[in-house]
Structure 1
Amino acid sequence: MNPTTLHPDLRFQFARSGGAGGQNVNKVATKAELRFSVRDSALLTDEERATLTEKLANKLTTEGELVLTHQTERTQLANKEKVIKKFDRLIARSFEVQKPRRATKPSKAAQAERMDTKKRRGDVKASRRRVEE
């Protein structure tokens, strides 16, 4: 089937879905596949392109293309909407800036509790040893 286009950078293709579904599965191409070329996108700046390439490295093809699919719905339109939502969430998550982690120390009470627990555990194990006569 010919790919349909929503935006020049987003390409859709449809194919037959796998799995259960009766005759509908064998007749109708409902599986939606979205392709987005990170490398060639006119929407992205060089910085954004580098960020996506780094964060989505395991999801990109060798040509720098992001391929997402959805096939759980019974209609082509529903699968297309779901794959667009999946794409939006993935891109939004990729551009979120994580706040830097600040190293913290355990409190004195937490350290004391840990030592007490270790001591108690050691005593339990020591009590299991054979008693010498």
Structure 2
Amino acid sequence: MAITIPEDELIESFVRSSGPGGQNVNKVSSAVQLRFDVVASPSLPDEVKERLLKLAGRRATGDGVIVISANRFRDQVQNRSDARARLAELVTQACIRPIKRRPTRPTLGSKQRRLDSKTTRAGVKAGRGKVRMDE
């Protein structure tokens, strides 16, 4: 399923980044905060929205907005593309429909092997009792 998110649904804000950058870190806003309102997005199907919010975890706010902070790189352009790539990865994972588990029953042979091992183990434990001298 190919999903494209229009540019106007993404809100980017630029903040000063911590970490490497020398004197530049105090002057340039190189970190990026990417916000995507999942609930209000018309470009995602409802089932993908639910899975996306579940996958986002603590990156999602109570209002259904995913906030991705990127400050891995020293310049704004790389951080911007990093944040978008991380959002794209989340959306790609949310598009995959999970396979429902079909419950299976144990085979007759596996039941028999289990009971045999229990019997063997019980015999080993029974042999550990106190030795009696009846003779």
Q: How far off is 1:127 after superposition?
A: 4.2
Q: Identify the match of residue 52 of structure 1 among 31, 49, 53.
A: 49
Residues 31 and 76, structure 2, Cα contact 8 Å, conserved in 1? yes
Q: Is the 8 A contact 2:38 2:53 kept in 1?
A: no
In structure 2, what is the equivalent of residue 104 of structure 1? 104
Q: Percent identity?
A: 27
Count of aligned residue pairs for this structure pair: 124
Letter in 1 for 2:20: G
Q: Distance in 1 between the 2:82 and 2:121 partners?
A: 52
Say if 2:68 is the partner of 1:68.
Answer: yes
Matched, 1:23 2:22: yes
Which amino acid is the alignment partner of residue 63 of structure 2? E
The structure-2 alpha-carbon separation of the partners of 1:115 and 1:74, relative to structure 1 and needing over 3 Å to count, comes to farther
Bigger Rg, structure 1 or 2 = 2
Unpaired stretches in structure 1, ≥5 consecutive residues? 1-5
Contact 1:39 1:65 in 2 (8 A): yes
Amino acid at match of 1:69: S
Residues 22, 128 of structure 1: alpha-carbon distance in 2 compared, 3 angstrom cutoff:
farther
The unaligned stretches of length 5 or more in structure 2 are 1-5
| Aligned mates of 1:24, 1:126 — CA distance in 2 | 76
In structure 1, how many angstroms separate the alpha carbons of the residues matched to 2:69 and 2:125? 54
Q: Deviations over 1:57-113 (max 9, x none)?
A: 544323321111222233322222222121112112222212222221223333333
- 1-structure distance, mates of 2:24, 2:46: 37
Closer/same/farther in 2, CA of residues 83 and 112 from structure 1, 3 Å limit: farther
TM-score, normalization by structure 1: 0.68
